[in-house]
Amino acid sequence: MLKKLHTLLFAICLIALTGIFSCSNEAETASHSVTIRLPNEPESLHPIFSKSIYATQIESLILLPIAEYDPITMELSPILISSIPTGENITEGKHAGGKVFNFKFRPEAKWADGSPVTGNDYLFTFKSVYNPYVNSAAWKNFMNFIDEIVVDPNNPQNVSVYLDSAYSLDVEAVINWNLYPENVYDPEGLMSSFTLEDLRNPDIVWTVEQDSLLKRFATLYESPEFFRDNVSGSGAYELDEWVTGEYIRLKRKSTWWGDQMKDPPSLLQAYPSSITYRIILDEAASEAAIKTGEIDLMAGITPSSFNRMRNNPEWAEKLNFDTPALMQINYIEINHRNPILADVRVRKALAHAIDYDAILNNVMEGLAARATSPIHPDKHYYHKDLQPITRDIKKSLALLEEAGWNDTNGNGIPDKIIDGKLKELHLGIKITNKEEGMATATIVKENAKEAGFDIELVVVDPSQIQQDVRQRNFDLLPLRVRAFPHMDDPYTIWHSDNDRQGGGNRSGFRSEALDDAMEELRRADDPAEQEAALKEFQQIIYDEQAGIFLYTPLERIVSSKRIQFPPSTRRPGYFENMIRPAEL
């Protein structure tokens, strides 16, 4: 859910026979510094607003989630709370027919200033999302299911959260997100004078004074101070230094509350005394850096570089190479707002023109497997009956002819009258200069040319890609979407309601049947009904060829032999807090 790679601290006394770490030993972590390559610089470290996947892994070391999926067991693990709550059915009162989730924040859990983590911080985080001037649409998508929050006035560490309607991800909506400290992010107490009920009331009319307070909070909340200067949370690490274009450095807190815990879970360990993220855009430079020992770890490198290093006896002896299965799907986003691509026959023609084996073998070099839908193949509700689309140029040509595309002017490119204007079968595929994307796009371009498509490769800066996605300024766009251990909820990305400015539906695909399937999924309590809804969702996406799904990759991690860590299927394939010296 949202921003998550969440981690805390550790307690490092090795119990010889059990292999359990149970007590703090500052000396063992004092000199254990780790340097990790970051291929792109995040725009901020503010989970509600940041868009970068690289921001996620850093944010969650500072601003812990309330609960998170363990990177090893893939089970939801309590982080800031004592245990995972179970929804209790309500039979009477204003929430009759709904559920209540009761939980308690850990008494050990502290913010950076030593103050306790409480339900007041929980309520504040919600309020901040519902400030009408805060751009937080993605968080509202799941928080909308929560109807009331009650903080125990006698013990603010006790919280009750009420949901009046069924939601398949109810537990995740309640506790699987990053928590903000009220005293840091609202030092003036601007949101304390507003109730959550009022903030969520679309018909309320604010007084001039109230409107001014809401605007002031939003301005401060989204200011550079909280985007990168004053990033503070309950995690084991704090932001030490951020030099634009060079590195981001975190240091382990000297007084870390996790040290008080006996046998902390994976995400409450913190081995490194400092973590430096070296921002190295160029892959060749990062390869040189790990060979010279300037960095300790890099992930997500191209398959060609990974295999070349792994197959070199010299580097195979000096470096570690890990390829955990990655919960990610690579696909081509289709902009359905383009009148050419609005026709399902054109989308299917393009899909059948692509040589998928060439992408798997030549681009991914065997480090990937085919995908047929937005759902990861490892999920039990993955629709196994959907056969992968195969290359069939004759079928592509027939579909285009059926759709009315013919070369009427003899220039070699099919054309058609659309909205009274002659349109050539010309599309742009927008990419950065990254090797994997370039190679994939080139194969698509050359393959599609045989079916009559005139595809232009449009190479732009990574920062421009993000802007173009937000503005829906693309025809075709190679993207990757992360999967999470919890049940999928595709509503944000695929529902018609989110095809709007600021919404998550980038493609603009609209389908009443698809919307119905996603809404049924959210309402369903029964696992069989949830699985049926998710399979129906996949079937519609497949039949409509709403996107072109390419492959699920293996992660490619190269690391120094001076460190060790357990590889994980959760992106980015490793968890920084769990990186230990190799000799331990």
- Distance, CA of 490 to CA of 519 (rounded, Å): 10
pLDDT at 584: 54
Count the alpha carbons within 13 Å of 27 in the hemisphere toward its beta carbon. Answer: 1
pLDDT at 22: 33
pLDDT at 511: 97
Dihedral in degrees, nearest 10, Cα atoms 530, 536, 538, 543: 180
pLDDT at 583: 76
Domain range list for the chain: 1-73+234-322+556-584, 81-205, 328-553
What backbone torsions phi and psi does residue 5 show, to the nearest 5 degrees? -160, 35
- Is omega for the bond preceding 388 within 30 degrees of 0, making it cis? no
Distance of alpha carbon 239 from its chain centroid, rounded?
21
> Cβ distance 126 to 143 under 8 Å?
yes
> Cβ distance 574 to 565 under 8 Å?
yes
The residues near 518 (Cβ < 8 Å, ≥ 6 apart) are 489, 490, 491, 494, 495, 533, 537
Q: Residue 450 has what DSSP assignment?
A: T
- Distance, CA of 105 to CA of 181 (rounded, Å): 13
Structure tokens at 522: 């959210």
pTM across the whole model: 0.84
Q: Any idea which fold 81-205 has?
A: Dipeptide-binding Protein; domain 1 (3.90.76)
- Distance, CA of 514 to CA of 494 (rounded, Å): 8
Do 81-205 and 328-553 show the same overall fold? no
| Domain 328-553 annotated CATH 3.40.1410.10 | no
Work out the angle between the directed axes of helices 344-353 and 435-449 (0-180°, nearest 10): 110
Tokens 């659309």 -> residue: 418
Class of domain 1-73+234-322+556-584: alpha beta
DSSP state letters, 353-419: H--HHHIIIIISTTSEEE--SSS-TTSTT--TTSPPP---HHHHHHHHHHTT-B-SSSSSS-EEEET
Q: State which residues of the chain have pLDDT below 50.
A: 2-28
The residues near 443 (Cβ < 8 Å, ≥ 6 apart) are 354, 355, 358, 359, 362, 363
pLDDT at 469: 87
